[in-house]
Amino acid sequence: MQLQQQATQIPLRHFFRNPEKTAFKISPNGAYISFMAPYQNRLNIYIQPTSGITDPIRITAETDRNISGYFWANSQTLMYFKDNGGDENFHLYTVNTDGSGNKDITPFGNVVAKLIDELPDKDEEVLIALNKRQPELFDVYRFNTTTGELTMAAENPGNIADWITDHNGQIRAAVASDGVSHQLLYRDNENQPFRNVLTTNFKESLSPQVFTPDNKFVYAVSNIGRDKSALVVFDLANGTEIQELYAHPQVDVASVIYSYKNHKLLGASFITWTLEYAFFDPQRKQLQQTLETLLGRKAYITDADKEEQKLIVATTGDRSYGVYYLYDTTTGSLTKLADISPWLKEEELAEMKPISYTSRDGLTIHGYLTLPKGVEPVNLPVVVNPHGGPWHRDVWGFNPEVQFLANRGYAVLQMNFRGSTGYGRAFWESSFKQWGKTMQNDITDGVQWLINQGIANPKRIAIYGGSYGGYAVLAGLTFTPDLYACGIDFVGVSNLFTFLNTIPPYWKPFLEMMYEMVGHPEKDKEHLTQASPVFHVQQIKAPLFVAQGAKDPRVNINESDQIVSALRNNGVEVQYMVKENEGHGFHNQENKFEFYEAMEQFLAEHLKG
């Protein structure tokens, strides 16, 4: 059997174990490197000097949950986020470089902390947002890293969704929303009230990225008056666009590259099939070429010290989790810091290739196909893997799930169905109220394309996805019941009514927008009933595996309970895994191992030749 003739079988846990070292950053003064590495199977923060050979020092000791992210507040203090069992109520902690001062600075129940601005020019201050006063609203607070004081900097009047600071750390702009229309608010200084300078429908977006060096205007990503988002200079005081700086003909501009040391716009990023840059600054362009020549592959500058002399540089690819380096711009020296997962060998992994096909109504759908190594691409078992979001997208790069499946002999098809971000406004809007309809057709058409190519064995096709991808699994098994041999639904939506009724409180301001994008429970009752798999379980006949985190705040466990119960009552085989200490996805290493081991057995049973 062909499945047995492929490249070396890699142990499953090699794909899903914690990285050896990851998330490297550098202190503002360039004296320390920090990174995350496992301690008692949880990712914690370690630091080491940039010069001299010393062993790293672990400065945190979290054992219940991985640290989800961290940053340098100044050269003596780091700050990190951690939630409880996947509830997404992230608390913010501080810790000093010697491990002292480790403290939860937001020890409030059912409160979410978000970073607003690290304030790189203010060593003693960080701006954060908390929904402490009201669950639906985030106010801004200044945290003093010296005194430990937390003081309110801006009270949310009830409709602010985002806050924007200038280079002096002043909150000068904000985005207000009633869920359907957005207002851009501006003030000359913090002593003045905000005034509305621009009102748009939510389909039109202006996203301020960074103030211009003189603090007068902002560089923003905007799709106002255009289909593809472009990089523009925007006059906040008058609510007008001054200049378009860069636009790509096929895709949206994603973000800007800015030098805080030189106060200069350096370039913009965008994603075609992979992440790319357009540089405006010749020196930054030359630096990129130098790094890529030294490393022999694409390089990404992920962090820098305040003087932008020492840089953290990462490389990655479709067959490598990546490698981190320290680069000194003054000496030109490049020092390897770590392989993220040295136990995985590129030569044993499969290539992820960009593909495209045409949907039944004429749209070009872009995606990725990963074929198992060492096997002729004919009549293969396939796992179709639609992404979550759904207003998100897949991008070329290392994906442990895809590599694991390819290593087990399955072809893996990923597609950026309509609604996927980055392809312009019309493509995004074409997904509105299309859950289970044209969005699902795009997935089905991709499967048919793979069958027509002779790559897929039509009797051995599975569908697997998480979040919206989990919904797409249930929709696929429901609305195209003869297409799939089995499905794996990971934290997926089964009932659009209960989904819309159980979103987190801080999503409430966007509920009207969700109604327009997904459907209104009363006005669109018939549509939502048609699109909810739980009401059509009699059509499902393929075996299903469902996995769910009990504390998931986005896709409530009731979504999985409903579909499992309904199918079991209908006599359909359902395997159900619930983890009490997880939320929207599994993050604890032991839970990931158990899930993927169950997935491996499930696919082997239902896709075998």
Q: How far apart are CA 554 and CA 364, in angstroms?
A: 30
Residue of 248, 387, 536, 584 with catalytic role: 584
**What's the per-residue H, E or C state across 296-315?**
CCCEEEEEECCCCCEEEEEE
| Cβ atoms of residues 14 and 343 within 8 Å | yes
Q: Which two tokens stand for residue 310?
A: 């020492």
Q: Give dist(CA 151, CA 89) in Å, integer.
A: 20
Active-site residue, 467 included: yes
Q: Which of 87, 252, 445, 552 is catalytic?
A: 552
Q: Is 263 a catalytic residue?
A: no
Q: What is the rounded distance in angstroms from the CA atom of residue 570 to the CA atom of residue 600?
A: 25
- Grouping H, G, I as helix, E, B as strand and the rest as coil, residue 506 is helix
- To the query of whether residue 387 is one of the catalytic residues in this protein, the response is no
Q: Any idea what the Cα angle at residue 94 is, between residues 90 and 99, rounded to 5°?
A: 130
Backbone angles phi, psi at 405, to 5 degrees: -65, -40
Which residue has 């859950």 as its token pair?
435
Question: What span, in angstroms and rounded, lies between the C-alpha atoms of 310 and 545?
Answer: 48
Cα end-to-end distance, the chain, whole Å: 8
Count of Cβ atoms closer than 10 Å to residue 421 Cβ: 18
Catalytic residue among 467, 494, 532, 560: 467
3-state class of 408 per DSSP?
coil
CA dist 47 and 596 (Å) reads 32
Chain centroid to Cα 458, Å, comes to: 32
- Give me 186's structure tokens: 């501006």
Q: Tell me the three state secondary structure of residue 553.
A: coil
- List CB contacts of 389: < 8 A, sequence separation 6 or more: 419, 420, 421, 467, 468
Assigned token pair, 449? 């394309």
Positive or negative, the Cα torsion across 148, 151, 153, 159?
positive
CA geometry: angle 161, 164, 169, nearest 5 deg: 140
- Alpha-carbon span 575 to 448, nearest angstrom: 27
Active site residues: 467, 552, 584
